Amino acid sequence: MAKIKFDNLKKSYGKVDVIHGISMDIDNGELIVVVGPSGCGKSTLLRMVAGLEKITEGTVTIGERVVNDLEPRERDIAMVFQNYALYPHMSVFNNMAYGLKIAGVDKQEIKQRVGEAAHLLELEPYLKRKPRQLSGGQRQRVAMGRAIVRKPAVFLFDEPLSNLDAKLRVQMRMEIKTLQRNLAVTSLYVTHDQVEAMTLADRMIVMHNGIAEQIGTPLEVYHDPATIFVGGFIGSPAMNFLAAEIRQGKVVLKNADPIAQCSEADQLVTVGLRPEHLHLCEAGKGMFDSVVKFTEALGAETLIHLKNRNDEDLIVRMDSTDQLPELKSVVGVDSKSEYIFLFDIEGIRLRTKVEI
């Protein structure tokens, strides 16, 4: 295992900048998840670490070596792709062993390494099978086994679960997390799925338009979003956003409903409210009133979809055992002051104290 360091890492294609200067230190054995929407630069970042994309500016250090100019095979990494990329004519054993054979590793050691990896991944009964005789989850295990037998300093995962169904994704991400902890190999994991990111990450990099909007633990990013993008992207359902302004020390919605007080100067702001931090009350008793549009029963919880007087949509998460409001009824919406987030017109979090 090895530490990784990004120092002002940038990538451009001609005049188009796609990675805008990322700096970060990754500890030994840490699992870092790079998460963001399609086109945000997360896979490009991973490919720069792997040596599959040339670095425009800055450095990547793995262990004690700056690897900018090293070939992928010289970087002591192993990569698991979204596409399993298995050789269809080879058995599971030979797929896992192929890289070692090319590297000239002794046959006995190859057998030992493949056996150990197969035991870890519960693939021992399938070593003689061809990929077409395996399920999607088993194929992904083989791809992971091929990486494990290399005993690399760093694992790189590029959306490895995207081709699996929802139930299997849940199972496989738990297996990946357990495996990574047992092997204690420093890992970078790319995904567009924020639930996957929250589940797997020791720390996460939230990417948007080539910028690392926030770096932190899943709970830090969730409870303390640095930008309006992070607040809206991390969390399901997404954070509610309402247009407002700070006027003479009061946070005022568009229809002039004052909902809180703060010490910031007068300015336009966006109010962020997570669905689980809101609760319903009698009309006229909360921060503002809204009309119930429809409800979504999800088993243990129910999502209440509302529209406020400014024609803005918002969601309140309720326990399914609570009494639900009637459709088209007017209800009050309330929250605690510590759960009210304010963002300026550029989407940057205002760190002011808010009081109701």
Please write the tens of the pLDDT for every residue from 125-181.
Answer: 999 999 999 988 888 889 889 988 988 999 999 988 887 787 888 888 888 888 888
Note whether residue 181 is domain-resident.
yes
For residues 206 and 263, membership in a common domain is answered with no
Note whether residue 144 is domain-resident.
yes
Q: What is the pLDDT of residue 338?
A: 86
Residue type, 23: S
Q: What is the pLDDT of residue 261?
A: 86
For residues 211 and 267, membership in a common domain is answered with no
pLDDT of 12 higher than 70: yes
DSSP 288-338: EEEEEEEEEE-SSEEEEEEEETTS-EEEEEEETTSPPPPTT-EEEEEE-GG
Note whether residue 11 is domain-resident.
yes
Residue type, 17: D
Q: How many domains does the chain have?
A: 2
d(CA 60, CA 203): 18
Write down which residue in 198, 232, 266 finishes a domain. 232
For residues 172 and 284, membership in a common domain is answered with no
Identify the CATH number of the domain in which residue 281 sits: 2.40.50.140
pLDDT of 1 higher than 70: no
**Full residue range of the structural domain in which residue 178 is found:** 4-232
Note whether residue 238 is domain-resident.
no
For residues 345 and 262, membership in a common domain is answered with yes
For residues 137 and 25, membership in a common domain is answered with yes
Identify the CATH number of the domain in which residue 142 sits: 3.40.50.300
pLDDT of 121 higher than 70: yes
Q: What is the pLDDT of residue 254?
A: 85
pLDDT of 191 higher than 80: yes
pLDDT of 111 higher than 90: yes
For residues 166 and 88, membership in a common domain is answered with yes
Average pLDDT over residues 202-230: 95
d(CA 305, CA 308): 10
Q: What is the pLDDT of residue 320?
A: 83
Q: In degrees to the nearest 10, what's the CA dihedral of 62, 147, 212, 3?
A: -30
Q: What's the pTM value of the predicted model, to 2 decimals?
A: 0.89
Note whether residue 190 is domain-resident.
yes
Please write the tens of the pLDDT for every residue from 232-264.
Answer: 999 889 999 999 999 988 899 887 778 888 888
d(CA 35, CA 305): 27
For residues 132 and 192, membership in a common domain is answered with yes
pLDDT of 33 higher than 80: yes
For residues 260 and 219, membership in a common domain is answered with no
Please write the tens of the pLDDT for every residue from 262-321.
Answer: 888 889 999 999 999 999 989 988 889 999 999 998 888 999 999 998 899 999 999 888
Q: What is the pLDDT of residue 170?
A: 85
Note whether residue 200 is domain-resident.
yes
Average pLDDT over residues 5-23: 94
Note whether residue 246 is domain-resident.
no
Radius of gyration of the chain (CA): 24
Note whether residue 97 is domain-resident.
yes
Please write the tens of the pLDDT for every residue from 321-343.
Answer: 888 889 999 999 999 888 999 99
Sign of CA dihedral 48, 51, 57, 59: positive
pLDDT of 202 higher than 80: yes
d(CA 346, CA 343): 8
For residues 218 and 275, membership in a common domain is answered with no
Please write the tens of the pLDDT for every residue from 59-103.
Answer: 999 998 999 999 998 999 998 887 878 899 999 999 999 989 988
Contact 194, 135 (CB under 8 A): no
For residues 78 and 209, membership in a common domain is answered with yes
For residues 28 and 88, membership in a common domain is answered with yes
